Structure 1
Amino acid sequence: MNGGLWARRSIALYLLAWLMLGLLLAGLVHAGSGAGPGASLLFALPLTLCYAIGCGFSAYYLCRAYPLAQRSLRAVLPVFAFSALTAALLWCAAGSAWAALCRLVLGEGQALAVTRPFVAVMLGIGVLLYWMTAVAHYLALEFERARRAETRELESRLLAQDAELRMLRTQIDPHFLFNSLNSISALTAIDAGRARDMSLLLAGFFRQTLGLEAHRKVLLTEEVQLAERFLAIEQVRFGPRLAFEHRLGEGAGGCLLPPMILQPLVENAVKHGIGQLLEGGTITVVAERAGSLLRIRVENDTDPDDAGTRTAGSGIGLVNVRQRLAAAYGREGSVHWARDDNKFRVDLVLPAETEEKG
């Protein structure tokens, strides 16, 4: 909430509460002294609103000067007792002067007659109202302090989460670059032209990913495009042995997810799946939106005779994806992987966020 708007609303509520107290005081004056309704309102309302302003400023600055978290009640109570008594005495003096002025305007028959019992009642009411104002200010200051502490805590959590996401994201780039440079090195001795093409594609891929920030999300369609760019790099080495398919269900392509969350899964599919098959295979990305959830599956062909490959999920790609989902979504995001005969699949489940939701 805007600070200026909050202050204006607080002042309006404060004056409204004092206006109601003024009406109550006018009713007491009318019932106790026999003054007419008009004279009672003329006496009580201006006097109460002036006291509201005086009490408000006085109690506010005293509450700031004597915070309860830093001062003991033994030090605070005498200050507020003296201030309340002083303010109430000034209020009674102002009331007597205002009553005298009202008598001059309205005449002796309709104006309020200020007596000692009435002044004593005003004195007691003035002290109580001052203390109530001080308590209200202390509550408001405590609420403000708690809100600032909550805001700082939230900012700290967001910064820590952002730092964790950045750290996890930086694990991907060196890992991918290391594998790509190894492939280029291997191609250099076999086909210098293909090695050059792969280098250019790699430069273009990193140029596109440099603008991605760890704390911002991208569309699933953009993630799939990044996966296609990556596979275009790998296809220089594998040729027709490497195929890629993707199917995005209705509404799935417009969902948001952490950047480069699919790339390590596709990279693992190439390295541990297609790369181990002489005849090659297909990498498939399927995404569907099911209500408030987005389900993504990355599936690839693998060697049926190598049953131990990637079943433990100990590779950096799978671990990284699991940690990034946990950091971004908590328990709402999950990743599971399984092997079925000659297929290895990784299933991601995360909230279906869209640009409209922020």
Structure 2
Amino acid sequence: MQAPLSNRRGALLYVVAWVCLGMALGAVCAALAPARLINGLLFALPTTPVYGIAAGFSTYYLCRANPLGTRPAPLLIVMLAAAAIVAGFMWLAVLLGWNELCRGLGVPWAGITVRTELSALLFALGVLLYGLLAAINYLAIEAGRARSAERRALEARVAAQEAELRMLRTQIDPHFLFNSLNSISALTSQDPPAAREMTLQLASFCRHSLGLADQDRVTLEQEMTLVRHFLAIEKVRFGARLVTEEALEKGALACLVPPMIIQPLVENAVKHGIGQLPEGGLLLVAAWREGSGAGMRLRIAVSNAVDTEGQGGGAGGIGLANVRQRLACAYPNAATLAWKREDGTFSVEIALPAQTRES
């Protein structure tokens, strides 16, 4: 909570509220005196905002110095009651002194007759207003504590989510490197030029992936550049058996995706799908947008040929589980992953919000 009058708008609203209260109190005093309305307003209006500002600061610092729960409740009540009584007497003294000063002017529109009943009313009102300000300050302090606790909890959840995303992302690199190095090792004795080519492609892939590692989101075009590096590596190993195609909507290329979100799906398609077919097959990567406005979705599909008599074809390994967990962390309840196998084709489809750097 901020101190009273710490910003212009708050100060203006606070003073206006006390001026309105002073006008109402002046009308009441004029009726009880009895006196003319102008006499009652001159009696109450100048001093009421002054009391409001003084009592506001007093209760603010008193409540800040004695938060709820730090002292026994009876002691806190007694302390606040004593402060309210002192404030009530001080306000009554200021009102009476101001009234005597006005009456000393000797003009008919200045000063009123303050009776005992009116004095008691003014004193009680001062005590009640002080207590009300103390209650408002305590409510504001507790609300600020609740907001701070909620913010800390949110920051902790975000930190945990980011740690999980980093862990899931680092799972991909060793898995892919392990497979690639095994392939290079096998090619070294069988086809040294192909092994050299694969090593160069792997270096390009690693260089590009390191450039994306520190980013939370990359464009689909950047992600596809990484996928093409990966497929170039695999084509050295599979040759004509691996046929690739892309069907990418131009507008979809500017959409943002988590880095290395497609590569595990393509790796699964090669390893568990086309890699199991002696004749090889087609691997297709497609992306398009659907819907409009804030509800627009980006859909990414990876499909590959599979053995019609076998099982899986792309559902094995850590790829799908990794991608599903990363999507759940990056887009809570806003992204989906589904896969299906039919007619000799295994396909995986991702749906997520279509966001761009401009949006």
- TM above 0.5: yes
Q: Deviations over 1:195-223 (max 9, x none)?
A: 22221221221122113247711122222
Partner of 1:350: 352
Look up the SS of the partner of 2:114 in the other structure: coil
Aligned residues of 1:162 and 1:215 also touching (Cα < 8 A)? no
- State the 4+ residue runs in structure 1 displaced beyond 6 angstroms: 2-6
**Is 1:59 aligned to 2:59, yes or no?**
yes
Partner of 2:298: 294
Aligned residues of 2:38 and 2:109 also touching (Cα < 8 A)? no
Aligned residues of 1:245 and 1:284 also touching (Cα < 8 A)? yes
Partner of 1:185: 185
Aligned residues of 1:250 and 1:289 also touching (Cα < 8 A)? no
Partner of 1:340: 342
Aligned residues of 2:281 and 2:304 also touching (Cα < 8 A)? yes
Aligned residues of 2:306 and 2:313 also touching (Cα < 8 A)? no
Look up the SS of the partner of 1:107 in the other structure: coil
- The 3 A distance-change label for structure 1 pair 229 and 190 is same
Distance 2:343 2:279 in 1: 17
Partner of 2:332: 330
Distance 1:244 1:16 in 2: 72
Distance 1:222 1:317 in 2: 20
CA apart distance, 1:250: 5.8
Q: Deviations over 1:163-204 (max 9, x none)?
A: 111111111000011011111111211222222222122122
Q: Which stretch of the first structure deviates more once superposed, 52-61 or 278-287?
A: 278-287
- The 3 A distance-change label for structure 1 pair 3 and 255 is farther
- The 3 A distance-change label for structure 1 pair 204 and 3 is farther
- The 3 A distance-change label for structure 1 pair 4 and 41 is closer
Look up the SS of the partner of 1:353 in the other structure: coil
1:303 corresponds, among 298, 301, 307, to: 307
Look up the SS of the partner of 2:14 in the other structure: helix
Backbone CA RMSD of aligned residues = 2.3
Aligned residues of 1:35 and 1:110 also touching (Cα < 8 A)? no
Aligned residues of 2:245 and 2:284 also touching (Cα < 8 A)? yes
Distance 1:154 1:342 in 2: 46
Look up the SS of the partner of 2:104 in the other structure: helix
CA apart distance, 1:347: 1.3
CA apart distance, 1:341: 2.9
Q: Deviations over 1:99-119 (max 9, x none)?
A: 122223462553223333222
1:316 corresponds, among 315, 318, 336, to: 318
CA apart distance, 1:241: 2.5
Distance 1:205 1:4 in 2: 59
Aligned residues of 1:198 and 1:236 also touching (Cα < 8 A)? yes
CA apart distance, 1:230: 1.0
Partner of 1:130: 130
Q: Which stretch of the first structure deviates more once superposed, 210-219 or 200-209?
A: 210-219
Q: Which stretch of the first structure deviates more once superposed, 179-188 or 99-108?
A: 99-108
Partner of 1:145: 145
Look up the SS of the partner of 2:308 in the other structure: coil
Query: Structure 2 counterpart of 1:276, which letter?
Result: Q
Aligned residues of 2:300 and 2:349 also touching (Cα < 8 A)? yes
Aligned residues of 2:85 and 2:127 also touching (Cα < 8 A)? yes
Q: Deviations over 1:231-274 (max 9, x none)?
A: 11222222332222221236322222211110000011111222
Look up the SS of the partner of 1:309 in the other structure: coil
Distance 1:116 1:211 in 2: 82
Distance 1:159 1:8 in 2: 36
Unpaired segments of 5 or more residues in structure 1? none
Q: Which stretch of the first structure deviates more once superposed, 26-35 or 76-85?
A: 26-35
Q: Which stretch of the first structure deviates more once superposed, 139-148 or 16-25?
A: 16-25
CA apart distance, 1:152: 0.8
Distance 1:177 1:8 in 2: 61
Aligned residues of 1:166 and 1:215 also touching (Cα < 8 A)? no
CA apart distance, 1:345: 0.6
Query: Structure 2 counterpart of 1:114, which letter?
Result: V
CA apart distance, 1:153: 1.1
| Sequence identity percentage | 51
Using the size of structure 1 for normalisation, the TM-score is 0.91
Q: Which stretch of the first structure deviates more once superposed, 160-169 or 295-304?
A: 295-304
Aligned residues of 2:327 and 2:336 also touching (Cα < 8 A)? yes
